[in-house]
Amino acid sequence: MGMTMTQKILAAHAGLPQVKAGDLIEARLDLVLGNDVTTPVAVKVFDEAGFTRVFDKDKIAIVLDHYTPCKDIKSAQLCKTARDFARRFDITHFFDVGTVGIEHALLPEKGIVAPGECIIGADSHTCTYGALGAFSTGVGSTDMAAGMASGENWFKVPSAIKVTLLGKLPPYVSGKDIILHLIGLIGVDGALYKSIEFTGDGVHELSMDDRFTIANMAIEAGGKNGIFPVDDKTIAYVEGRVSRPWTAYEADADAEYEREVVIDLSSLQPTVALPHLPSNVKPVAEVAGLPIDQVVIGSCTNGRISDMRIAADILRGRKVADGVRCIVIPATQQVYLDCMTEGLTEVFIQAGCAVSTPTCGPCLGGHMGCMCEGERAVATTNRNFVGRMGHVKSEVILASPAIAAASAVMGCVASPAALEKEAE
């Protein structure tokens, strides 16, 4: 029996000719990632274990993105712990205030991750890098500590779900709508500890940013990882960013999958996920008119320049509705600069938005947009669990940048098409 993409990458990194679902392996790591929340825990484990060296200072990344610029004394202490560790071992890929970006947007942008690599990160959305054809997955801080010291980690080889994408996307439908639709189909545990492997002619219709968004939220279906084939769009993205050799893996024709899910992209509608699960999905047309208090456009899911452009196109010449707070968060310093150069920042400010430096901030109820009891937000983030963005009696509706921007203008859940119709 042949192997899936994920299984081929794991076999290569374990030095084995073949692996199958359920095998326990030790695999060589190409990158170990941590942030300002998870790195301090890993540092404590690292020191208590008596480790005195890291396996490779060039293959560790520490990104202070969750609470920076620091919101309080506790977050400042967490960042200091991470800074001290990075300085102690001269970590090459260390990003602090002024250079920081949201980790899962920053690392691909900087060429720190590449196709065919094996990557772990002490953050659940590390699965983002599967968009590049890498095996990347979230782990706990203990595994991060072990990975930093040894350059290896153990894995149970996952079984796989094949998601076949067909057709072309309709207007205002994007990667966010695709992944919400998929999670709605299979549920938040539908891919538990499985690899979600995307294929089909529809893949080529997706931009790299669409793929990053989709891979990012594989974990919201319980997936161990999400992964896309390496095609000409992938190669164009990594050229000029990645200078080291990399390998593109392809699934065998006889690879075994537990199930196949077929999605006709042309049939999709702009979609949202209502509280309090990413699987609670509805076409936006069915829930339009729900009043909102806040809109967040950004995060590791939808904070890239294409997301900013879509939001700005809708907000241009319009105003955020009275009583609504719209917070725009470019995911990296480069995206922030691009927004300024392209005039998007001016559009956002003239529309009445607050524009933040790169941070995870409100996505996890950290800062830059926590909600109080009874408030409701439309957000381009990835989770809408109880209390995710503040008070346990607040609500988060997950949506694409297009829907989020339209909702900010309308003052309620709204589709861009409805906004255009009103303008007529």
Q: Strands across the sheet with 93-95, in order?
A: 93-95, 60-63, 31-35, 118-121, 135-138
Contacts with 55 (C-beta within 8 Å, 6 or more apart), sequence order: 29, 147, 148, 149, 150, 151
Say what the pLDDT of residue 423 is. 61
Q: Are 35 and 122 in contact (CB under 8 A)?
A: yes
What DSSP string describes 355-416?
Answer: E--S--GGGGT-SSS-B-TT-EEEESSS---TTTTBSTT-EEEE--HHHHHHHHHHTBS--H
Q: In this structure, what token pair is assigned to residue 391?
A: 């008070």
* CA end-to-end distance (rounded Å), the chain: 58
Q: Are 293 and 371 in contact (CB under 8 A)?
A: yes
Say what the pLDDT of residue 155 is. 96
Mean pLDDT by 10 residues, the chain (424 residues): 95 97 97 97 97 98 94 95 97 96 97 98 97 97 97 97 96 96 95 96 96 97 97 96 96 95 96 96 95 97 97 97 97 97 98 96 89 96 93 96 97 87 64
**Rg of the chain taking only CA atoms, in angstroms:** 21
138-to-55, 286, 303 alpha-carbon distances in Å: 19, 34, 20
Q: In this structure, what token pair is assigned to residue 86?
A: 């990075």
Element (H, E) at 136: strand 135-138
